[in-house]
């Protein structure tokens, strides 16, 4: 019994020895399938977008106008407008505007309140009353930074003058581009990103893992982000 099993195994091992050519052809085929999948996912991602940059820009400007010099008032305006505009069956929003967490990324530090997070979009309030400076990150998503309070400055290599974004303006960072940016003094912004969001997360966590080691913040960030992504998945919002 056992000896016949052993022979069986040797026979099978022999027939499974593939020649190197077949191995490379199948690896190449797998690579092509993976690349094709990426292109396909990239081509269809817009189907799941609910929010849009133009209305968010209008909303940010309306929030500034309705609550001048009052950041908390602007945030309330934004959240109540979004909950009135979008049915909860279409998109899940986090209305707890007390839920702020530190955010360290690209050398910059601030705090964020996650209004929405799903697989293809996120919307947060990000900022700091102290000012900060760093690398924007090189992302696979388009990023729209709507300034509410203060100013954001930015520049790309080769530019000798800075770009300046005052309240009411929007700084669009197309995917695949990176800049140095500075929130010179206190600055808060409504940041909207659309694309494949999970690919942005390593940038969001790298500074914590290699520098701050602020594990409670990392834990809360993962809990809140995960909870919001799941709340959206449950209603079919990818």
Ligand X SMILES: *[C@@H]1O[C@H](CO)[C@@H](O)[C@H](O)[C@H]1NC(C)=O
User: Binding residues for ligand X, per CB under 6 A?
Assistant: 58-59, 62, 69, 81, 84-85
CA 62, 66, 71, 72 dihedral sign is negative
Q: Which residue is nearest to ligand X (CB)?
A: 62
Residue-wise DSSP of the chain: -HHHHHHHHHHHHHHT---HHHHHHHHHHHHHHHHHHHHHHHHHGGGG--S-HHHHHHHHHHHHHHSTT-HHHHHHHHHHHHHHHS-TTT------TT-EEEEEETTEEEEEEEEEE-SSEEEEEEEESS-EEEE----SSEEEEEEEES-EEEE-TT-SS-EEE-TT-EEEE-TT---EEEE-SSEEEEEEEES-GGGGHHHHHHHIIIII--HHHHHHHHHHHHHHHHHHHHTT--
Nearer to ligand X (CB atom), residue 83 or residue 217:
83
Nearer to ligand X (CB atom), residue 25 or residue 130:
130
User: At closest approach, how far in Å is the CB of 57 from ligand X?
Assistant: 9
User: At closest approach, how far in Å is the CB of 192 from ligand X?
Assistant: 14
Nearer to ligand X (CB atom), residue 62 or residue 154:
62
User: At closest approach, how far in Å is the CB of 195 from ligand X?
Assistant: 24
User: At closest approach, how far in Å is the CB of 164 from ligand X?
Assistant: 20
User: At closest approach, how far in Å is the CB of 230 from ligand X?
Assistant: 27
Nearer to ligand X (CB atom), residue 17 or residue 69:
69
Specify the pairing of strand 132-135 against strand 170-173: unpaired
Nearer to ligand X (CB atom), residue 87 or residue 157:
87
User: At closest approach, how far in Å is the CB of 96 from ligand X?
Assistant: 20
Nearer to ligand X (CB atom), residue 61 or residue 217:
61
């Amino acid at each position: 019994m056992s000896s016949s099993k052993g022979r069986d195994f040797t026979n099978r091992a022999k027939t499974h020895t593939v020649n190197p050519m077949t191995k490379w052809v199948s690896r190449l085929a797998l690579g092509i399938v993976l690349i094709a999948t990426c292109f396909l996912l990239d081509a269809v991602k817009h189907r799941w977008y609910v929010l849009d940059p133009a209305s968010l820009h209008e909303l940010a400007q309306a929030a500034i106008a309705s609550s001048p010099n009052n950041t908390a008032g602007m945030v309330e305006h934004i959240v109540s407008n979004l909950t009135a505009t979008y049915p909860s069956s279409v998109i899940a929003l986090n209305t707890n505007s007390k839920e702020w967490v530190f955010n360290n990324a690209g050398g910059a530090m601030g705090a964020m309140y996650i209004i929405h997070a799903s697989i293809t979009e996120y919307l947060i309030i990000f900022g700091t009353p102290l000012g900060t400076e760093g690398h924007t990150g090189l992302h696979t998503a388009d990023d729209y930074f709507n300034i509410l309070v203060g100013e954001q400055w930015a520049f790309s290599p080769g530019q000798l003058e800075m770009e300046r974004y005052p309240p009411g303006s929007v700084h669009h960072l197309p995917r695949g581009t990176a800049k140095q940016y500075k929130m010179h003094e206190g600055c808060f912004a409504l940041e909207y990103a659309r694309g494949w969001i999970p690919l942005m997360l390593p940038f969001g966590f790298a500074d914590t893992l290699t520098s701050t080691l602020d594990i409670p913040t990392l834990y809360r960030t993962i809990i809140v982000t995960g909870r919001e992504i799941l709340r959206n998945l449950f209603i079919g919002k990818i």
